[in-house]
A and B are shown apart, each in its own frame.
Chain A
Amino acid sequence: VALAEASVPRRQVATYAVERPERRVGRMASRLFFLVLLAGVTVVFLAPLAWLVSASLKTRSQVFNGEWVPDPVMWSNYVDVWRAAPVLSWLQNSLVVGLLGAVAVTLSSAAVAFGFAYFRFRGRDVLFGLVLATMMLPGAVTMIPVYLIWNELGLVNTLVPLWAGNLFGSVFYVFLLRQFYLGLPRDLFDAARIDGANYLQMWWRVALPLTRTALIVVFVFEFKALWTDLLKPLIYLYDTALFTMPRGIKTLIDRFGQGGEMQWELVLAATTVLTVPLIALFFFAQRYFIEGIATTGTKG
């Protein structure tokens, strides 16, 4: 190893001295090639979204005309879909479920993760093994009995089953947050103890602020998941006024599209309304999205 290290600088100097001009041109050419390639892929990735926005602004007869720029621009589609369906209630329901569920899962998972990371008690590691094991369980196995529980409680056809399960933490986030807590030095908590903090204060005043990034990651991930979900609203919601946005759009597709009245410009306007908030959230919290995903891959 020492030999290899020693020889690096000399060799580099030598090659640079001899090959520099062509090499630079070659490197620039290849860089340009890669940039062009990436730009091409970017166009492919963004084209469907561009089509969505464009089609949502066209007249009914022009929706599928293959033009990228709508002419005339029908802003009225967004008003019409508002009139044709209770889109405002749907958005409100989605927002309520998303916010309640994301806050609930963030706080409960953080508490549980802290319990597993900081405290020493008999059976802790066995229980944490159980946390990891339940991560493997597909949702389909518990889907029916959980429905029966909410049914027993008389809460089917309310928004409660969509978010209340989050009060009990989510194993994936518990795992993620525990990793962050384990990275905090124990002395920090001992110091807080000496200052008279109790366990709850140690969590709330020391652990939570120090893992803010991780908490925001959990919040945005769960918000995205809840905002997107179709399966639970299909299972639990019957009244149109209670629908979340995805559930509502599914109804619009069944009613206006697919052999229905073919008012796709309205469906696509609603679809745009569903899509834009998440992309906006992403641009505010981009760092957290990217960091969160990258962490799950490297720490998982």
Chain B
Amino acid sequence: MGAVAQGALRARPAAGPSGLRRAEARAGWAFIAPWAVGCLVFTAVPMVTSLYLSFTEYDVLRPPRPVGLENYRDMLVDPRLRLALWNSFFYTALYVPLSVALALGLALLLERVTRAAGFFRTAFYVPSLTPTVAVGALFLWVLNPSVGILNRALALFGVDGPGWTTDPAWIKPGLVVMSLWSLGGTIVILYAALKNVPRDLYEAARIEGASGWAEFRHVTLPMISGAVFFVLIVNTIAALQVFDEVYTMYFGQMDSGAGSSAALFYVVYLFRQAFEFLNMGYASAMAWLLFVVILVITLVQLRVSRRWVYYEGR
């Protein structure tokens, strides 16, 4: 739709005197001016500044002192940084596939019940409206090993639940459980994509005698692969930058012992370096590493996607 309209815009002959065209150009610039100013002041200049600061030592109180590559060298040997990277990767690697698989499963279920789907979709979406700080406060207790409703529910099935908030080995899986609770957005996207699959494709597959699995594998999955790819990318980028819930649960005025290591996510560590320890130079270098990591992961995903994402009409 967009492409057609754009084509129409271009196809219109550049009629009228050139004064009119100049007026149009001027008006166009006036309309995009807020973005242009904002991009300069809040993106371009800060990017340059951040890059500069990453080569300095800076605590806001005294002017920045250039230190060359020291911050980057420090990052190589900082065990907390390595821990933060590992924590974020571990969480992302666990959360992203689980979230997409679970959301897809639930979206497929929604598709089966047609008339009641609206009600259930709402029910699944409501948790994702819970503010992140509320999610943190709430799940500190939902996940509590002795009184939390998760382990109480597991006990009903005779399972002795782990120490989701106390055992370093289970803190990250606990945070994944928490994030899966706010899965609603992903479900809504995948469900919308499923509903967009043309019905006649299913009929054609049935006539060919395709089994349920074959139909899913060769009709449904290719047709929704664009949306699956979208949520994969978006969820990955979001997971690498998780902050609010984790900070609410395990950091702040008092650090809870196990959490302050097992839940030290990358952006949490960056925030602490910048605004709690006032190592603005080091934090800037950390920000650039995050940028590069996200860029590389996204480019790899884009590259790999060419093999499995199917775009209609391409």
Binding site for B on A (CB under 8 A): 4, 7-8, 11, 30-31, 34-35, 37-38, 41-42, 45-49, 51-52, 55, 64, 66, 108, 111-112, 114-116, 118-122, 124, 127, 130-131, 134, 136-149, 151, 165, 167-169, 171, 174, 179, 182-186, 199, 203, 224, 227-231, 234-235, 245-246, 249-250, 253-255, 257-260, 264, 267-268, 271, 274-275, 278-279, 282, 286, 289-290, 293-294, 296-298, 300
Taking the closest CB of chain A, its distance from the CB of B46, in whole angstroms, is: 4
Instruction: Name the B residues within 8 Å of A274 (CB-CB).
Output: 131, 133-134
The residues of B that contact A111 with a CB separation of less than 8 Å are 31-32, 34
A127 to B33, CA, bound (A): 11
Residues of A within 8 A of B31 (CB): 111-112, 114-116, 118-119, 199, 203
In-complex Cβ contact of B203 among A8, A134, A136, A199 (8 A): A8
Taking the closest CB of chain A, its distance from the CB of B171, in whole angstroms, is 15
User: A274 vs B25: C-alpha distance in the bound complex, in angstroms?
Assistant: 46
Q: Tell me the chain B residues, 11-55 only, with Cβ under 8 Å from chain A.
A: 12, 14, 21, 24-25, 27-39, 41-43, 45-47, 49-50, 53
CB distance from A194 to the nearest CB of B (A): 13
A35–B9 CB distance below 8 A: no
With A48-B127, A230-B247, A258-B256: A141-B35 Cβ-Cβ less than 8 Å: no
CB distance from A251 to the nearest CB of B (A): 8
Query: How many angstroms between the C-alpha atoms of A49 and B138 in the bound complex?
Result: 8
Complex CA gap A134/B27 in Å reads: 24
B267 sits at the interface (CB 8 A): yes
Q: Which of B14, B126, B227, B237 is A297 in contact with, Cβ under 8 Å?
A: B227
Question: CB within 8 Å of A: which residues of B?
Answer: 1-2, 5-6, 8-10, 12, 14, 21, 24-25, 27-39, 41-43, 45-47, 49-50, 53, 60, 106, 109-110, 112-113, 116, 120-127, 129-134, 136-142, 144, 147, 149, 152-153, 181, 185, 188-193, 196, 203-204, 207, 226-227, 230-231, 237, 241, 243-244, 247-248, 252-254, 256, 267, 270-271, 274-275, 280, 283-284, 286-288, 290-291, 294-295, 298
**Max count, chain B CB within 10 A of own CB: residue among A139, A149, A253, A267:** A253
A182 neighbours in B (Cβ, 8 Å): 1-2, 5-6
Q: Is the CB of A141 within 8 A of B275?
A: no
A114 to chain B, nearest CB (A): 6
Cβ A141 vs Cβ B50 within 8 A = yes
Residues of A within 8 A of B25 (CB): 119-122
| CA A282 to CA B5, docked complex, whole Å | 33
Residues in B neighbouring A49, C-beta threshold 8 A: 126-127, 130, 138
Q: Are A140 and B193 in contact (CB under 8 A)?
A: no
Contact B244 A229 (CB under 8 A): yes
B120 and A51: CB pair below 8 A?
no
Q: For B46, what are the chain A residues with a Cβ–Cβ distance below 8 Å?
A: 141-142, 144-146, 149
Q: Which residue of A lies closest to B120 (CB)?
A: A38
What B residues does A141 contact at CB under 8 A?
46-47, 50, 287-288, 290-291
Nearest Cβ on chain A to B110's Cβ, whole angstroms: 7
| Chain A residues whose C-beta falls within 8 Å of the C-beta of B14 in the assembled complex | 120
**Least Cβ distance of B113 to chain A in Å?**
5
**Whose C-beta in chain A lies nearest to the C-beta of B43?**
A134
Specify which of B8, B121, B123, B274 is in contact with A144 (CB 8 Å cutoff). Answer: B274
**B50 and A48 within 8 A (CB):** no
CB pair B291 A138 closer than 8 Å: yes
**Majority DSSP secondary structure for residues of A touching B:** helix
Q: When the two chains form their complex, are residues B50 and A165 in contact, meaning their CB atoms are under 8 A apart?
A: no
**Residue contact B133 to A144, C-beta cutoff 8 Å:** no
Contact A41 B106 (CB under 8 A): yes
A282 touches B129 (CB 8 A): yes
Which residues in B have their C-beta under 8 angstroms from that of A259?
Answer: 254, 256
- Which residues from A are CB-within-8-Å of B147? 64, 66
- Contact status B204-A4, CB under 8 Å: yes
- A286 touching B122 by the CB < 8 A rule? yes
Q: For the complex, give the distance between the alpha carbons of A296 and B231 in Å.
A: 10
**Chain B residues, CB < 8 A from A278:** 129-131
* Cα A141 to Cα B252 with chains together (Å): 22
Closest 3 CB pairs of A and B: A168-B38, A115-B31, A119-B28
CA distance in complex: A144, B282 (Å): 11
Can you offer 26 A-B residue contacts whose CB atoms are under 8 A?
A8-B203, A11-B207, A41-B106, A42-B123, A45-B181, A46-B126, A48-B127, A49-B138, A116-B32, A118-B28, A120-B25, A138-B290, A138-B291, A138-B294, A140-B286, A141-B291, A145-B47, A168-B34, A228-B244, A229-B132, A230-B133, A246-B133, A250-B248, A253-B140, A253-B248, A275-B129
B129 touches A144 (CB 8 A): no
**In whole Å, how far is B96's beta carbon from the nearest beta carbon of chain A?**
16
Give the chain A neighbours of B139 by CB distance below 8 A: 48
Chain A nearest Cβ from B222, distance in angstroms = 15
Q: A293 and B188: CB pair below 8 A?
A: yes
A298 to B248, CA, bound (A): 33
Report yes or no: A300 in contact with B283, Cβ–Cβ below 8 A: no
Do A300 and B230 touch across chains, with their CB atoms under 8 A apart? yes
